[in-house]
Amino acid sequence: MPSRIDTSLIYRALILTGLVVFGFYLAADRGLVALALNSDRSYISWVILGVYTLASFHWLWSSFHLTRERRHFSDLEEARLQGDQTISVKDGLLGEFFARLGATSNDNANALLNAFGDELANRHATGHFVSDVLLKLGLLGTVVGFILMLLPVGEIEDFDPSMMQQLLSAMSGGMAVALYTTIAGLVTSTLLKLQYHVVDTSAADLVTRLQVFVDTEPHEYGDGAKGVNADAS
């Protein structure tokens, strides 16, 4: 039962990825993606889309590794419930945590738990940073778009009616850059925050369960214990 629950993280990650890809497909099928990219003379939308794609791969990688940590811990919990004291976790962040816990006094358990939580959070810090960068890129595109929109106005020497259509066309191009880059930055930043919120909540749940485990179990994990390795499923 615990293993089934803990594999739900990677399932949720894959489902969310599928929804994002499906939404992108719908937008592309209706020509919205091509319209936004082709109208962006600054190419900032291309940068935003590329950065978001790379960050999403990092998020999937983080989800996979966190799922593996949770599965190993679930195996350990299940073994303790069955009275099996021979199972231990020897790989990953959990393995490092239990190794340090076995070599220190009980008074340092809370400090080790805090350090473990910080290490998990640091794995996701890159995603939160990139989410902010995407939002800033969208705002940068807004500024660049307004600059492109106002440049033709500064080049006007007289108000010849025949030039107005050309002027309006140039200004609309700058406005398109401002709007499309803003939309791209807002959408990708919001999606990435949602994605990393999923792994953040799972990481917090793992730390909470680990706190309960440490408070209720002895801290000795002998070298002769059978390890739950990284390839366990």
Give tens-digit pLDDT for 8-65: 788 889 999 999 999 999 999 999 889 888 888 889 999 999 999 999 999 999 998 8
CA torsion angle 124 125 127 132 (round to 10)? 150
Other Cβ atoms closer than 10 A to 208: 12
What is the rounded distance in angstroms from the CA atom of residue 135 to the CA atom of residue 14?
24
84: Cβ–Cβ under 8 A, 6 or more apart, which residues?
Answer: none
β-pair partners for 89: 228
pLDDT band at residue 188, thresholds of 50, 70 and 90?
very high
Residue 116 contacts residue 210 (beta carbons within 8 Å): yes
pTM exceeding the 0.85 threshold for the entire prediction: no
Which runs of E-coded beta strand occur in 8-126?
A: 87-89
Q: 81: helix, coil or strand? A: helix
* Secondary structure letter of residue 218 according to DSSP: -
Q: Looking at residue 230, what is its pLDDT?
A: 39
User: What pLDDT, in 10s, does the model give residues 130-176?
Assistant: 999 999 999 999 999 888 887 776 666 666 666 666 677 777 778 88
Query: CA nearest 203: which of 138, 139, 125?
Result: 125
